[in-house]
């Protein structure tokens, strides 16, 4: 009986840890100002004014299908197509670990936003659960995220842990009670500090098919699934290559600096360098 009572008390203690742990790992965007969600395609933050996602037709690196409840800009986090300081807050939940260049990715977040929130898996999480499309393991050194190539390190029991998380409420309770063991969550202001020790060696990546992307956007437009951008975001759109202003001419956005033109499907711009010559 004492063992059962002790186990029950331990479960209560772990349950009591969950609210504080969850709060520690939750973005806190301000009430005022524009909010950007980068890579939040399957579950954008409720406060987001716009979502940036590169992949419309490929869910390989997402936990679910693309959620279109927010206005969408098709772009790459390494080259965010917005003017400096457009946003008050930028959210990047489980996306920077996908980056081929975390330094550039983090610099772009800080360029377009005054503050923000980044969440990535810890080294323990990467080597316990395992995601083949993550090229990095990530540690935290104070307020700096340290990226190291994953190399040959793998999570041999990853599928078992993913299945256990999905099926077991007790497993999820334990995981939530010790979430700081599994996630690095960093709120930053002014600058997002990142250190990279080595080069990206991604073994698998999502596929970008510009023509399929544009075709899919046309279908979504016909269904009424795409939302117009807020006027302030629309005015802040910039060329992802040279950051010059863009002007609309029919179903294209033209750069005043480098003369590149980008597709515009309804109100959704496709601001990818790969899409410059694509037909709408």
16-62 pLDDT tens trace: 888 888 888 999 999 999 999 999 877 899 999 999 999 988 766 66
Which pLDDT belongs to residue 65?
78
- Say how far apart CA 240 and CA 235 lie, in whole Å: 14
Which pLDDT belongs to residue 278?
62
Average pLDDT, stretch 218-245? 95
Q: Count other C-beta atoms under 10 Å from residue 12's C-beta.
A: 9
CB under 8 A, 24+ apart: contacts of 215-220: 216/56, 216/57, 217/56, 217/74, 217/265, 217/266, 217/268, 217/270, 218/265, 220/68
| pLDDT tops 70 at residue 9 | no
Per-residue pLDDT reduced to its tens digit, 46-102: 999 999 999 988 766 666 678 889 999 999 999 999 999 999 999 999 999 999 999
| pLDDT tops 80 at residue 6 | no
Domain boundaries, the chain: 2-196
Phi, psi of 256 (to 5 degrees): -75, -15
Q: Judge contact between 119 and 185, C-beta under 8 A.
A: yes
Average pLDDT, stretch 150-166? 94
The CATH number corresponding to 2-196 among 3.30.70, 3.40.50, 3.40.30, 3.20.20 equals 3.40.50
- Say how far apart CA 182 and CA 126 lie, in whole Å: 8
Residue identified by tokens 């202001």 is 189
DSSP 4-25: HHHHHHHHHHHHHHHHHHHHHT
**Residue 96 tokens, joined:** 């920077």
pTM confidence score: 0.91
């Amino acid at each position: 009986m004492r063992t059962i009572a002790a186990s029950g008390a331990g479960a209560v203690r772990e349950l009591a840890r969950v609210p504080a742990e969850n709060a520690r790992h939750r973005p806190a965007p301000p009430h005022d100002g524009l909010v950007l969600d980068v890579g939040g395609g399957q579950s954008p933050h409720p406060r987001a004014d716009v979502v940036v996602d590169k992949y419309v037709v490929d869910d390989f690196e997402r936990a679910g299908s693309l959620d279109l409840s927010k206005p969408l800009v098709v772009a790459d986090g390494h080259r965010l197509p917005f003017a400096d300081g457009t946003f008050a807050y930028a959210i990047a939940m489980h996306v920077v670990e996908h980056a081929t260049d975390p330094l550039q990715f983090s610099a772009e977040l800080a360029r377009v936003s005054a503050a923000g929130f980044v969440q990535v898996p810890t080294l323990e999480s990467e080597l316990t659960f395992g995601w083949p499309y993550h090229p990095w393991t990530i540690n935290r050194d104070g307020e700096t995220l340290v990226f190291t190539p994953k190399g040959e390190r793998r999570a041999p029991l990853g599928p078992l842990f993913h299945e256990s998380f999905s099926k077991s409420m007790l497993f999820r309770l334990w995981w939530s009670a010790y979430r700081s063991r599994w996630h690095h969550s960093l709120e930053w202001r002014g600058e997002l500090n990142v250190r990279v020790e080595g080069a990206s060696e991604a073994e698998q990546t999502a596929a970008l098919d510009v023509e399929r992307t544009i075709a899919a956007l046309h279908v979504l437009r016909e269904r009424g699934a795409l939302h117009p951008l807020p006027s302030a975001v629309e005015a802040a759109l910039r060329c992802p290559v040279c950051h010059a202003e863009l002007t609309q001419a029919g179903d294209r956005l033209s750069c005043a600096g480098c003369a590149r033109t980008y597709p515009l499907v309804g109100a959704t711009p496709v601001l990818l360098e790969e899409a410059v010559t694509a037909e709408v």
